[in-house]
Amino acid sequence: MAQVAIVVGSASDLGRVEEARHTLQELGVGCEVMVLSAHRTPERVRQFALGAKERGIKVIIAAAGLAAHLPGVIAAYTTLPVIGLPLARSSLGGLDSLLSIVQMPPGVPVGCVSIDGARNAALYAASILSLADERVAAALEEYRRRLSQGNP
């Protein structure tokens, strides 16, 4: 069962979130990956966000480039934790995306990781899940142990 949803705004961005999917899989965390655009399919984004908790989703990773509205739009419709993953999709190298995500207005928070930081987005999602799931907590501890030995 998927506990994390990874959402990208364009099918061309699917490869950019593969590391997040792989990291979650390595930690034993179920995830689903989907394409939803804040600009091209806003009603589908709204329906997804409103129904995510009911479907068992506990954390959402929303990857976006350029104007990067997707994480904020999703956060507007759910109280689930939303992690914004800015993508380097422009001549600004992702700085535009980063600023769009971290500058959310008060009351609608979105967590944010580094530009193209898919692995950290997955680890952040897993750390949120680990608060209530000992299995995920143990997998994260093992991951950190391997990391400290030079084996990420």
> What pTM, to 2 d.p., does this model score?
0.96
- What's the mean per-residue pLDDT of the chain? 95
From the list 29, 49, 57, the residue with the least C-alpha distance to 130 is: 29
Q: Dump pLDDT digits (tens) for 34-90.
A: 999 999 999 999 999 999 999 999 999 999 988 789 999 999 999 999 999 999 988
14 close to 35: Cβ distance less than 8 angstroms: yes
Residue 82's H or E segment, with its range, is: strand 82-87
In the chain, what are the domain boundaries?
Answer: 4-148
Q: Dump pLDDT digits (tens) for 108-148.
A: 999 999 999 999 999 999 999 999 999 999 999 999 999 99
Which CATH number is associated with domain 4-148? 3.40.50.1970
